[in-house]
Structure 1
């Protein structure tokens, strides 16, 4: 996949992985659409990204998302690739965590990311081309303590993406799930605690993690190679992710069901 002059839309683009992905794609000649809640920070990222469209909005605002989707498609006549990256992590024991924290994390990390994709898949399928990447986590492969809500959302995101990939496999639209391990971002600092407040401090393992720019390059290189599951981690985290990797043969088998008319048969049966 050559991204020169292609339109790439990234949510959660104001910092961390999203900002690093924006800079890397810009270096490969892509036109960037950058979204997040903080317009000023998006503008700072845009300075490194050439021709850029900034569309700030909260991913939980359905009306704002619909308007942003219209503008992103209209900007240059289409969106070629989209990255559902917006999200928030967690650092709290299940026994101590308010139920509202579960609702908030699942809304941001799962439901809003599905809504983002749903707004684009019709456009991409009609064009017969396009791609989607979902930023899950190693915690979306292996349930990790202190992250029950986060793991639930990230597992769910991967499940949606896997099913969507199969459905779109005959439409020219690729679907990729990225499973980062510890990346040196503010993810721990911004994580929600048991009462929903921000944690406000980082973890040593995160601070010593993979540099975002290095992670972004690995992610995009893997997308170019059409990898469906992309694990970007080191050490024990990488081993955990690889242990739970879905075999390509199984993904091919599910895509084959679609090629053989599975969906049409299901719909015909009512």
Structure 2
């Protein structure tokens, strides 16, 4: 089964540690609880899109350890096609998430099996990539694989939704394949090589690099969208946050789902803001993502 959306990216298990506040360097604090959940930017985005009714295929890898079962659980539950997710020797990717009482998080990621998502792995999944309407990419797998998947998709007429997260400096040629490029303010600054004065200016400067469309996510301040030379600011929805983990991935997955339904980037982003807002009201990443029939803020 191929997908209208193909996500080429990371699959992790998330170890979420709940604490009253984040420890200072050298300090030990007592936590309130811990839970092991499905995660990884690629898997998160795939689940977010699938829960909204999109047909999604995943290209990634998990390890031969018991953690793989947890890492794949959310994808399986959402009905994502896992044909191109092999089990490789070694450990599954792991993210350790420290979640404070004010809903802010800090995250350490151990790539594990995600390092096996190489150019060769992308080439092996070529058929599903070129058959999709939208190819979603991030930066938690080796960057040559990201560049290869973007090029394969673009050459086949598959739309490339590129989320440069975590922040990294991808080749300009790869960035120019994005339509849209989705980044937060920090990621935009890394790409531009300087601090940004305003999201609007950053979006314009990114577009000046030859990128067709740009979305900059602003957390509790919403997002800005630059499409067809027109810049639009989208306000955030007012909610009481419980856990911001994976909110950006919820946005990207919802954006991809909107695009395969035929929405403009602006309309899809408006819906994605609502999906991301819903996600922060619940604990975890994938477990917090709304299903298609659920009401949104």
Task: State the TM-score, normalizing by the size of structure 1.
Answer: 0.43
Which of the pair is proportionally richer in helix? 1
Structure with the bigger percentage of strand: 2
